[in-house]
Amino acid sequence: MAEPGTPARVALSVVIPLYNEREVLPLLYERLTDVLKPLAIRYELVLVDDGSRDNSGLYLLELATSHPEVKAVRLSRNFGKEAALTAGLDLSVGEAVVVLDADLQDPPELIAQMLAAFHAGSDIVCMKRRSRAGESWHKRLSAHLFYRLLNRLSHIEIPADTGDFRLMSRRAVDALKQLPERNRYMKGLFAWVGLPTHVIEYDRDARASGITKWNGLKLLGLAFEGITSFSVTPLRWATVMGLVGALVGLSFGFWIVVDALLHGNPVGGYPSLIAVITFLGGVQLLSIGVVGEYVGKTYFETKQRPLYVLRDVVQSPPDTASQPAADQDAVHTPAP
C-alpha cells in the first residue's frame, strides 16, 4: 500500500506504436477509455508516433495536454515499428504492459481478460489469432507458412498466429530492456524471454479505418529479419549447397573423363561448360548474399547507434492537466 503523499503505482500501461493513423485515433482513445475506466485502476496510454506525416503527432499532443493518463511520445523520424514499440516499452512504467496496434484490429475489449490471466500468475499473456477478418487468403496463407518455417529454423519456439498484441509483466518488460541488439524482431524477442505464458485465442477484426501501412515487400523484409535474427540455418544451407555443387561438378568431371577414356567419346565442352558455370555461379551468388546479410547485421550491431531518437515526450500531471508539458529533445537508448 502506498504511503500518504506517495503517488499510486501505475497498474497498467498500454503501449501503442503508430504511423499515419490520424483517422482512427479518436475512436482508439474512446474504446480504450470505455474499457479501462470501469477497471478502477491507475493506467497510462503510451502512444508512440513513429514520424507520422498526417498530423497524428499533433493530435497526440492535444490528447496528452488534456488527459493526464496519455503519454504522447514523438520520435524524431520514422524508425520503424520495432523501434517505436521498443521506445514505448522503455518509457512505460506499469506493473503490467499491454502492446496494442493502433488500427483496432486487435480489440482492446480483451484487456480485462488478459489482466485476469496476469493476476492468475502469468508473466506473459499471448493473444493467438483464431481468425483474421479483412485479410486476403494469400496473406493468411503466407503468415501461416512463415511461422511454421521460422519455428523449423529457429532454436526457440515462436508461437504461431500471434502478433505484437500481448500483455507482459514488469519483470518481462525489464528483461526485454536488457536485450541490446539493434536489429529487432520483437515477436522473437518476446518468445526468447520465456517466463510463464498463457495463451488466449481471439478473432481478429478488420481495420477500423484507413489502410494498412504494410505492403508485401515490407512483410517479406520483416520475415527475412525474423529468420536471420533467430537462426543460422540459412548459412548452413549455403554450405550444403556449396558442398552439393562441388560433388555434382566432381562427379560430372569424373564421368566425362571415364566416358572419353573407355568409349572414346569426344567431350562436348561448350554446352556442358555453360550449364555448370551458370549453376555454380547462381549457388555462389546466393551463398554470398546469405553471408552478406549476416555480415551486414553484424556491421550495424557494432555501430551501437541508439534504436531511436526522441523528439519529445508530453504528459500532463494530474493536478495540472490543462498545462502542456515542455518539449524536450533527447537521445534514448535501451537500458544496458
Asked if residues 21 and 103 have their Cβ atoms less than 8 Å apart, the reply is yes
Q: Can you read off the three cell numbers belonging to residue 198?
A: 498463457
CA distances from 68 to 43, 61, 213, 320 (A): 10, 11, 29, 8
Q: Can you read off the three cell numbers belonging to residue 219?
A: 512483410
Q: Can you read off the three cell numbers belonging to residue 102?
A: 493502433
Q: What are the counts of helices (DSSP H) followed by strands (DSSP E) for the chain?
A: 10, 9
Q: 0.95 cut: is pTM over it?
A: no
Is 162 or 12 the better-scoring residue by pLDDT? 12
* pLDDT score of 73 more than 90: yes
Asked if residues 228 and 298 have their Cβ atoms less than 8 Å apart, the reply is no
Beta bridge partners of 18: 49
Residue-wise pLDDT for 116-133, tens only, equals 999 999 999 988 888 766
Predicted confidence band at 194 (pLDDT cuts at 50, 70, 90)?
Answer: confident
* pLDDT score of 135 more than 90: no
The yes/no answer on whether domain 12-218+306-332 falls in CATH 3.90.550.10 is yes
Predicted confidence band at 1 (pLDDT cuts at 50, 70, 90)?
Answer: very low
Residue-wise pLDDT for 90-102, tens only, equals 999 999 999 999 8
The 10 Å Cβ neighbour count of residue 259 is 13
Residue 154 and residue 17: Cα distance in Å, rounded? 27
CA dihedral 139, 144, 146, 151 (to 10 degrees): 160
Residue 313 and residue 48: Cα distance in Å, rounded? 9
The DSSP symbol for 186 reads H
- Spatial strand order in the sheet of 124-132: 197-204, 124-132, 162-169, 96-99, 12-18, 43-49, 70-75, 308-314, 330-332
CA distances from 235 to 72, 226, 278, 291, 294 (A): 42, 15, 21, 7, 9
Residue-wise pLDDT for 198-237, tens only, equals 988 888 876 656 555 555 565 566 666 666 666 666 777 7
Asked if residues 306 and 70 have their Cβ atoms less than 8 Å apart, the reply is no
Asked if residues 16 and 84 have their Cβ atoms less than 8 Å apart, the reply is no
Q: How much of the chain exceeds pLDDT 90, in percent?
A: 28
Is 99 or 268 the better-scoring residue by pLDDT? 99
Q: Can you read off the three cell numbers belonging to residue 30?
A: 474512446
Residue 56 and residue 58: Cα distance in Å, rounded? 6
